[in-house]
Amino acid sequence: MIDNSRRYPDPSIRVFDPRFKPLILASASVECLYQGARWSEGPVWFGDGRYLLWSDIPNDRILRWDEPGGTVSTFRQSSNNANGHTRDRQGHLVSCEHLTRRVTRTEYDGSITVLADHYRGKRFNSPNDVVVKSDGSIWFSDPTFGIDGFYEGKQQESELPACVYRVDSQSGEVSVVADDVLGPNGLAFSPDESVLYIVESRGEPRKIRAFDVGGNGTALANNRVLIDAGPGTPDGFRVDVQGNLWCGWGMGTDELDGVRVFTPQGEPLGHIALPERCANVCFGGRHRNRLFMAASHGLYSLYVNTQGVQGG
């Protein structure tokens, strides 16, 4: 177990811009909650149960951290090499599965419903990350990472280009909303859902792209680069109520590993340093003011002075 910082303010919280200071707390530090995963991903908070779920993709399991006692247990194994998770507007767990190349919903009784596993008769690649819009529609990215080898899924042939899809909440119809992002990965909406941000993880360097949401909330337009990551590797991220982006970051160096925070205009505000690369984050806790960070082998948290977008 990695020792938690005992110093206030925590020296691992780095301020690049004075606008970051109101978002952080002088008397809160990074806490290591768990060590022992092979590749941590896809954290999602369940406030009604006071627990967090996240994926350990190569170990083919979903782990559960319980807030009251700080204990960790296995929520599901096999998880079909699940990656990203979120909750729908009814509180169900929605998951991206690499092995089965599908997006699923876990019902209240624990049974699993397949929401999408093909497009125009062809199988998806390996759904990666997922968000649910306020109208109940499900948006997910579908790169090839889970079928490129046997570590995070099973090596298989790609049948479709890597795209971002939308599943209609009423009809279940699947449509392509973005086919012009190289290796689409993490995605999140702005607080008013007028913009969808998508990580382009096969760009060199990686980028976070922004799209305007139109077509009565069903289509994307105006693809543009919001953030050029340079040597960084953005993966998954979430947005706070002010519209700031809290991005999993890293590339195996002390300067890059952790979470990097940007304004809605893509300006860097600060960095939360971790001893390992961070893949994805979510907000949770009683007031959605606790940032949970799924890093390479571990799970970390930090109380912050803002809140995650509700439903995000």
**CA nearest to 203, candidates 184, 222, 220:** 184
Would the annotation count 185 as a binding residue? Answer: yes
What is the C-alpha separation between 167 and 37, in angstroms, rounded? 31
Would the annotation count 223 as a binding residue? Answer: no
For the question of residue 235 being annotated catalytic, the response is yes
The catalytically annotated residue of 88, 142, 235, 257 is 235
Identify whether the C-beta of residue 307 lies closer than 8 Å to the C-beta of residue 241.
yes
Distance of CA 40 to the CA centre of its chain: 11
Radius of gyration of the chain (CA): 18
Would the annotation count 41 as a binding residue? Answer: yes
| Tokens of residue 56, six digits | 């350990």
Identify whether the C-beta of residue 43 lies closer than 8 Å to the C-beta of residue 64.
no
Would the annotation count 235 as a binding residue? Answer: yes
Q: Which residues, 6+ apart, have CB-to-CB distance to 84 below 8 Å?
A: 41, 42, 55, 95, 96, 127, 128, 129, 130, 140, 186, 236, 280
* Buried-exposed string 16-51: b where 16+ CB fall within 10 A, e elsewhere: eeeebeebbbeebbbbbbbbebebbbbbbbbeeeeb
Distance of CA 179 to the CA centre of its chain: 20
What is the C-alpha separation between 55 and 50, in angstroms, rounded? 17
Output the known binding site for substrate.
Answer: 128
Output the known binding site for a divalent metal cation.
Answer: 41, 185, 235
Annotated catalytic residues are: 235
Output the known binding site.
Answer: 41, 128, 185, 235
